[in-house]
Amino acid sequence: MGSDEKYWLGFDLGGTKMMATVFDAGFKILGSHRVKTKGREGTREVLDRIIETIQESLDDAHIKAQQVGAIGVGCPGPLDLDRGIILEAPNLGWKNVPLKETLEKAFGCSTVIANDVDSGTYGEYRFGAGQKARCLIGVFPGTGIGGACIYEGRIFRGKTSSCMEFGHIQVQPEGRVCGCGQLGCLETVASRLAISAEAAAAAYRGEAPHLLKMAGTDLSSMKSGVLAKAIAGDVIVERIVRNAAQHLGRAIAGVVNLLAPDVVVLGGGLVEAMADLFLGEVRKTVDARAMKAFTKSLKIVAAQLGDNATVMGSAALAADAGNGIQ
Amino acid sequence: MGSDEKYWLGFDLGGTKMMATVFDAGFKILGSHRVKTKGREGTREVLDRIIETIQESLDDAHIKAQQVGAIGVGCPGPLDLDRGIILEAPNLGWKNVPLKETLEKAFGCSTVIANDVDSGTYGEYRFGAGQKARCLIGVFPGTGIGGACIYEGRIFRGKTSSCMEFGHIQVQPEGRVCGCGQLGCLETVASRLAISAEAAAAAYRGEAPHLLKMAGTDLSSMKSGVLAKAIAGDVIVERIVRNAAQHLGRAIAGVVNLLAPDVVVLGGGLVEAMADLFLGEVRKTVDARAMKAFTKSLKIVAAQLGDNATVMGSAALAADAGNGIQ
């Protein structure tokens, strides 16, 4: 490795935790650091914590800031991608935070920001389950449902911000109230949070005794792992998950008819915790609903990078920007 | 104009008529010829008619085949785009017809084929209502509902064929039977054909006397112009059209949330015949349903090129191929 070798830094800014990871030119992990975000403490505090976390990861990797080629950050949106500003991050209480400028000042190297789901999907495209796909769709059911599209090697994006708002595909015109103000968006029926709410109601009614014993009726205890365990004992929880996966499958079928992807990657804690059940149901539904011309060569697979997807994708985007690719 | 000036030929192969148009390097129309397709007469006969029609358009333009830089053809699908084969065209009774090879032999110049809706939308992008759009969506309600996306100057396509099957977005999971075999696809409620069928039923029930007088109850008489005239007298026909436009608007809202286009172009005979009513209703619905971040800079406009869209787009694609753009 020559002394002019460049290193890339990927950062994942989440609502509950943040993580910085240092990569060598071949995207091998050299060091990493992860802490709680504590968004309530205020913008300046969180920005300082981001800088500290990056510094810790550099120390962990025995790399100096001057050796970093560029920093890539996956953030919640909406963003101004070109100016590198987080326009709004409700989880962090942020408005118009110039993250790119802040990090460029702190570390003296160029910084790119991207939507976190875009970064994660790009990570899977470069290093994970979606490698070499001509058109890759990433779908991540969590509190909401994140979506992204990598088309011919580049993130499909809006003019100034990210797009592919998968969770807000309307699946029930007269359905439940969504956080976005509309009725019946996909995430009101197929997110981990929607599944948790439905499972908690079943527990409350006495129909899911195993779940009730493990988690009570509090949504904040209904994590993916708990739901996965409950399935073994509570038939109704399995039905709730299958029903949600079918909703997701129908929405994916619609996107397949529009964009004809080669690969759909499903990721996030929920999918990881019950990959066979969830993917099986999604595959069956998409096969039944999408057009044969598009399903015959389509692969629907589980994400491979887990929590590393966003830092890896962000670091790769930072490297691409240096090479004028993205 | 030098003697080595190139001319481009655009061809529109429709189920009922075909048209060839010759353009100069600045895409000015020099000559054109249009005849009925008569698909029932057999593959060889239709291929011969295509060749004759191209020759007639060249004669009309006083151009020799040797002066044509390339031919572009907009065809019904599914297609093998790279090999230039029409895999299947139910309207023509065609299977696996090597159109590219046939025309290259006949005229000695390179030929590209594209989906007709892709060509038409590309025409609007290059010369019509969608010029300079970063992301343009074309939607053409007719017998079905064609869709296309021009993203950063290029047609968004599938691996070997076209995509953006707009008419097969499912809007009513328990809805009407669609030609594709699914239930409740958008084109079962919002195509010109669906509107005609609903209006014909209203005429049959005696609720649309003006329509009944003009067109009876036969769908093949319920053309866009007739429907537009009926609206002036029959309130129910206006309601049927508004309802269809709202369905279309909801589907477009979903696509706006996914792809964040700058411009949506609506075209085809139905839209042309009642542009204010149809576009007004679609705009209102999209504004109400799509995310503000995407609608604030979105334009929804009527197509400008009418029947010339496909020949112009096809000719431009042929020229691009020569320049390695598409």
Nearest in space to A164 (alpha carbons), one of A197, A112, A122? A122
Contacts of A69 (CB under 8 A, 6+ apart): A6, A7, A8, A109, A318, A319, A322
HSE at residue A226, side-chain half, CA atoms within 13 A, is 23
Per-residue pLDDT band at B1 (split at 50, 70, 90) = very low
pLDDT of residue B133: 98
Q: Does A173 touch chain B (CB under 8 A)?
A: yes
Report the alpha-carbon distance of residue B275 to residue B279 in Å, rounded.
6
Q: Does A134 touch chain B (CB under 8 A)?
A: yes
Mutate to test the interface with B, among A189, A243, A257, A264 (most CBs of B within 10 A): A257
Nearest in space to A13 (alpha carbons), one of A61, A51, A58, A50? A50
pLDDT of residue A173: 83
Contacts of B110 (CB under 8 A, 6+ apart): B70, B71, B104, B318, B321, B322
Q: Note the Cα A42 to chain centre separation in Å.
A: 24
Strands, sheet with B299-302, edge to edge from the N-terminal-most edge strand: B154-155, B145-151, B135-141, B263-266, B299-302
SS3 A213: helix
Is the Cβ pair A260, B161 closer than 8 Å? Answer: yes
SS3 B146: strand
pLDDT of residue B224: 94
pLDDT of residue B174: 87
The DSSP secondary structure of B150-204, one letter per residue, reads EETTEE---SSS----GGG-BS-TT-PBPTTS-BSBTHHHHSHHHHHHHHHHHHH
Q: Count Cβ atoms below 10 Å from residue A174 Cβ, excluding itself.
A: 6
Residues in chain B within 8 Å Cβ distance of A182: 289
Residue B1 one-letter amino acid: M
Q: Count Cβ atoms below 10 Å from residue A232 Cβ, excluding itself.
A: 9
pLDDT (tens digit per residue) in A12-54? 999 889 999 999 999 999 999 999 999 888 899 999 999 999 9
Report the alpha-carbon distance of residue B74 to residue B118 in Å, rounded.
8
Residues in chain A within 8 Å Cβ distance of B254: 169-170, 254
Q: What is the mean pLDDT of residues A281-310?
A: 96
Strands, sheet with A299-302, edge to edge from the N-terminal-most edge strand: A154-155, A145-151, A135-141, A263-266, A299-302
- Map tokens 């204010």 to a residue: B276
Q: What is the mean pLDDT of residues B273-285?
A: 97
E-assigned strand segments in chain B: 7-13, 17-23, 29-36, 68-75, 79-80, 85-89, 94-97, 110-115, 135-141, 145-151, 154-155, 263-266, 299-302
pLDDT of residue A91: 80
pLDDT (tens digit per residue) in A81-133? 999 999 988 888 899 999 999 999 999 999 999 999 999 999 999 999 999 99
Q: Does B164 touch chain A (CB under 8 A)?
A: yes
Beta-bridge partners for B80:
B85
Residue B101, both tokens: 């090879």
Per-residue pLDDT band at B324 (split at 50, 70, 90) = low
Exposure pattern of B45-63 as b/e (b: 16+ CB <10 Å)?
ebbebbbebbebbbebbeb
Residues in chain B within 8 Å Cβ distance of A250: 170, 173
Residue B62, both tokens: 């006083």
DSSP H/E element including B284: helix B275-289
pLDDT (tens digit per residue) in B224-265? 999 999 999 999 999 999 999 999 999 999 999 999 999 999
**Residue with the larger pLDDT of the pair A40 and A146:** A146
pLDDT of residue B246: 97
Predicted interface score ipTM higher than 0.90: yes
Residues in chain A within 8 Å Cβ distance of B157: 260
Is the Cβ pair B180, A291 closer than 8 Å? Answer: yes
- Map tokens 């992990």 to a residue: A29
Beta-bridge partners for B114:
B74
User: Distance from B234 to chain A by nearest Cα, in Å?
Assistant: 28
Is the Cβ pair B169, A257 closer than 8 Å? Answer: yes
Contacts of A282 (CB under 8 A, 6+ apart): A245, A246, A248, A249, A252, A266, A300
Residue B216, both tokens: 């009876």
pLDDT higher than threshold 80 for residue B4: no
Residue B125 burial (C-beta neighbours within 10 Å; 0-12, 13-18, 19+): buried
User: Which residue in A has a C-alpha nearest to residue B262's C-alpha?
Assistant: A159
The DSSP secondary structure of A143-160, one letter per residue, reads SSEEEEEEETTEE---SS
pLDDT (tens digit per residue) in B57-78? 999 999 999 999 999 999 997 8
Smallest Cβ distance to A163: which of B163, B254, B258?
Answer: B258
Helical H segments across chain A, by residue range: 43-61, 99-107, 116-127, 187-190, 192-204, 209-215, 224-233, 235-259, 269-273, 275-289, 292-295, 309-322
pLDDT of residue B326: 64
Per-residue pLDDT band at A1 (split at 50, 70, 90) = very low
pLDDT (tens digit per residue) in B140-153? 999 999 999 999 99
Smallest Cβ distance to A163: which of B161, B259, B297?
Answer: B259
Exposure pattern of A207-222 as b/e (b: 16+ CB <10 Å)?
ebebbbebbebeeeeb
CA dihedral B144, A152, A118, B289 (to 10 degrees): -20
Least confident of A7-16, A167-176, A183-192, A271-280: A167-176
What is the percent of chain A with per-residue pLDDT over 70, rounded to a whole number? 98
Report the alpha-carbon distance of residue A184 to residue A179 in Å, rounded.
10
DSSP H/E element including B249: helix B235-259
pLDDT higher than threshold 90 for residue B55: yes
What is the percent of chain A with per-residue pLDDT over 90, rounded to a whole number? 88
Q: Does B179 touch chain A (CB under 8 A)?
A: no
pLDDT higher than threshold 60 for residue B3: no
Residue B80, both tokens: 């093998």
User: Which residue in A has a C-alpha nearest to residue B288's C-alpha?
Assistant: A182
Is the Cβ pair A170, B254 closer than 8 Å? Answer: yes
pLDDT of residue A324: 65
What mean pLDDT is reported for chain B? 94
Q: Does A183 touch chain B (CB under 8 A)?
A: no
- Map tokens 């669906």 to a residue: B194
Q: What is the mean pLDDT of residues B39-44?
A: 90
Residues 38-97 of B with CB under 8 A from A: 78
pLDDT of residue A4: 60
Report the alpha-carbon distance of residue B118 to residue B86 in Å, rounded.
15
Taken in order A47, A52, A57, A62, the sign of the CA dihedral is positive
CA distances from B277 to B23, B86, B199, B215, B273 (A): 34, 36, 16, 21, 10
pLDDT of residue B195: 97
Is the Cβ pair B260, A297 closer than 8 Å? Answer: no
Residue A311 carries which DSSP code? H
Beta-bridge partners for A21:
A10, A32
Residue A5 burial (C-beta neighbours within 10 Å; 0-12, 13-18, 19+): exposed
